[in-house]
């Protein structure tokens, strides 16, 4: 971009969309902030490099006098008088009609861009305190889309292990602190989600506050200026009579001659207002679109993360689409699904799965959810947590005799054996190979030689959820 490595990296990192957000977030901090920055640069080029104002001078003004008068009028403000009105005789009345906001348009646009980017900076800074590396998890999930066969299965296993240890899906015995319907705390699975909702609220407050800033900036009580300007365009009355962005204005200045002060009134054309008017008309309606989108998105996130029933509904949807229809529709497994959604995944886990679904695709998110749920059932079944509801969920996860493993429909997807994942400690069912069969439910010699020892298998594959390991990327 600039040919300077460290500056190029800083600028690219600043304006690059993040991976842990949704489209409405990018609409606020990236698209809107970029538009405002572009408008600020465009107006600055016209204002400080071009000719923002031109005035009709008296005949006696020559050369430098004309340039001096135009610079003076641009700096000291001008005032607007409608063509059908007479110029006020009183100086105070003229001063009341002055407007000078056009001088500050580039600075205000730049400040507006900063205000739109500020919530995202807060989000990037504070979410790292949770210990959950959202960017790494989402990036690894996105990489799974282009992997094939064994490598994809291996990387999926690493990602499942990382999420198990990072999100601490085991039900830790902690004293919860409740905020609304959520257990709030950095180690209670709701720190990131609560922070995300606060950031959503900041986006909403910011875009609504921009309307007040915009109307206060252009002044004259035009609270619905954009709608009024659009009506003027529709009726064909034109914009040249607009008192908000007048193109023709008046300017008073005094010149000292021989100890006497001479007052001059000149008529000026503000070419810069032609750009300002179009820019702010677009911004007014753009802010309206962003405000409506942010408002809807905020309430959607609020009602999908806070109520426990909403988190369970999202989990059911992911598992249902991951070939777990029988499990989702079963009443016996309902308590287990509720426990996994609200005591294991918790709001932070649901939010992370939503980010993965948005950036890595629905197929990866469904398969990852299936692995996490299967690991959770395996952990509960092999520890003191095992209850009737756990056994019911485990029995539904095991395919019936003669059924086949589910194959992922994603590119490079490999066979996914839920039975082996959920219950590796269970002795294998009797096999009948050729003419030799098991006697009294036993296993024939050939099958026994091919099957690994269950104790060795258990030793090689420790439960991930109770390991107590620190999050570590492999």
pLDDT (tens digit per residue) in 160-179: 888 888 777 655 444 455 54
- Residue 246 covered by a domain: yes
Contact 195, 123 (CB under 8 A): yes
- Residue 381 covered by a domain: no
| Percent of all residues in the chain with a pLDDT value above 70, rounded to a whole number | 70
d(CA 340, CA 172): 13
pLDDT for res 249: 87
- Residue 380 covered by a domain: no
pLDDT for res 97: 82
For the chain, the helix, strand and coil percentages under 3-state DSSP, each to the nearest 5:
60, 10, 30
Beta-carbon contacts of residue 87 (< 8 Å; ≥ 6 apart): 81, 94, 250, 265
Tell me the β-bridge partners of 178: 183
Total tally of structural domains belonging to the chain = 1
Task: Take residue 413 and report the two structure tokens written for it.
Answer: 């997807």
Between these two residues, 292 and 14, which has the higher pLDDT value?
A: 292
* Residue 290: pLDDT band with limits 50, 70, 90: very high
Contact 363, 322 (CB under 8 A): no
Question: Is residue 322 scored above 80 in pLDDT?
Answer: no
User: Which letter does DSSP use for residue 443 in this model?
Assistant: -
Between these two residues, 399 and 92, which has the higher pLDDT value?
A: 92
- Residue 273, burial from CB neighbour count under 10 angstroms (0-12, 13-18, 19+): buried
Task: Take residue 42 and report the two structure tokens written for it.
Answer: 């465009």
Mapped onto helix, strand or coil, the DSSP state of residue 390 is helix
pLDDT for res 25: 94
The least confident of 199-208, 311-320, 430-439 is 430-439
| Percent of all residues in the chain with a pLDDT value above 90, rounded to a whole number | 21
d(CA 300, CA 316): 18
- Residue 362 covered by a domain: no
Question: Is residue 464 scored above 80 in pLDDT?
Answer: no
Question: Is residue 53 scored above 80 in pLDDT?
Answer: yes
pLDDT for res 240: 55
In terms of average pLDDT, the best of 94-98, 187-191, 398-402, 424-428 is: 94-98
Q: How many CB atoms within 10 Å of residue 415?
A: 11
Q: Where are the beta strands (DSSP E) in 33-73?
A: 53-56
- Residue 1 covered by a domain: no
- Residue 140, burial from CB neighbour count under 10 angstroms (0-12, 13-18, 19+): buried
> Apex CA 129: angle with CA 127 and CA 132, to 5°?
70
Tell me the β-bridge partners of 433: 436
With b meaning 16 or more CB within 10 Å and e meaning fewer, what string describes 176-214? Answer: eeeeeebbbbeebbbbbbbbbbebbebbbebbeebbeeb
State the sign of the Cα–Cα–Cα–Cα dihedral 143, 144, 146, 152. Answer: positive
Q: Which domain holds residue 213?
A: 9-126+204-297
Q: Phi/psi of residue 76, each to 5°?
A: -95, 15
Contact 58, 134 (CB under 8 A): no
d(CA 299, CA 201): 9
Question: Is residue 457 scored above 80 in pLDDT?
Answer: no
State the sign of the Cα–Cα–Cα–Cα dihedral 202, 204, 206, 212. Answer: negative
- Residue 160 covered by a domain: no
- Residue 170 covered by a domain: no
- Residue 314 covered by a domain: no
> Apex CA 152: angle with CA 149 and CA 154, to 5°?
110
pLDDT for res 222: 64
Q: How far apart are the first and last CA of the chain?
A: 34
């Amino acid at each position: 971009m600039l040919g300077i490595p460290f500056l190029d990296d800083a600028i690219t990192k600043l304006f690059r969309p993040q991976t842990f957000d949704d489209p409405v977030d990018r609409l606020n901090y990236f698209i809107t902030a970029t538009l405002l920055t572009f408008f600020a640069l465009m107006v600055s080029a016209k204002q400080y490099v071009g000719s923002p104002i031109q005035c009709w001078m008296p005949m006696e003004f020559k050369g430098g006098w004309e340039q001096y008068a135009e610079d003076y009028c641009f700096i000291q403000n001008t005032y607007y008088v409608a063509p059908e009105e007479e110029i006020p005789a009183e100086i105070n009345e003229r001063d009341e009609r002055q407007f000078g906001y056009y001088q500050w348009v580039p600075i205000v646009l730049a400040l507006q861009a900063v205000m739109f980017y500020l919530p995202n900076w807060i989000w990037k800074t504070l979410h790292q305190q949770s210990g959950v590396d959202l960017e790494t998890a989402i990036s690894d999930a996105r990489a799974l889309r282009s992997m094939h066969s064994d490598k994809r299965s291996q990387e999926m296993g690493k990602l499942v292990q990382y999420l198990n240890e990072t999100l601490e899906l085991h039900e830790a015995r902690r004293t919860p602190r409740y905020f609304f319907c959520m257990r709030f705390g950095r180690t209670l699975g709701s720190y990131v989600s609560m922070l995300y909702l606060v950031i959503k609220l900041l986006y909403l407050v910011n875009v609504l506050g921009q309307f007040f800033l915009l109307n206060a900036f252009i002044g004259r009580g035009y609270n619905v200026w954009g709608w009024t300007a659009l009506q003027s365009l529709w009726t064909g009355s034109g914009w040249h009579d607009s008192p908000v962005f007048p193109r023709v204005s008046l300017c008073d200045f005094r010149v000292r001659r021989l100890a006497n002060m001479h007052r001059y009134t000149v008529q000026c054309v503000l070419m810069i207002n032609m750009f300002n008017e179009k820019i702010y008309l677009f911004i007014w309606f753009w802010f309206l679109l962003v405000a409506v989108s942010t408002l809807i998105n905020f309430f959607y996130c609020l009602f999908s993360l806070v109520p426990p029933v909403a988190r369970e509904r999202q989990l059911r949807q992911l598992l249902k689409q991951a070939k777990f229809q029988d499990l989702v529709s079963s009443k016996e497994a309902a308590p287990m699904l509720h426990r996994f959604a609200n005591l294991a995944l918790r709001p932070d886990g649901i939010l992370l799965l939503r980010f993965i679904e948005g950036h890595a695709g629905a197929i990866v998110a469904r398969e990852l959810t299936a692995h996490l749920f299967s690991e959770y059932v395996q952990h509960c079944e092999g520890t003191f947590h095992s209850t009737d509801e756990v056994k019911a969920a485990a029995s539904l996860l095991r395919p019936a005799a003669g059924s086949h493993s589910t194959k992922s429909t994603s590119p490079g997807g490999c066979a996914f054996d839920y039975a082996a994942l959920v219950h590796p400690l269970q002795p294998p069912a009797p096999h009948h190979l050729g003419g030799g069969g098991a006697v009294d439910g036993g296993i024939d010699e050939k099958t026994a030689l091919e099957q690994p020892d269950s104790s060795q298998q258990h030793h090689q594959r420790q439960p991930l959820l109770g390991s107590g390991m620190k999050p570590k990327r492999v």
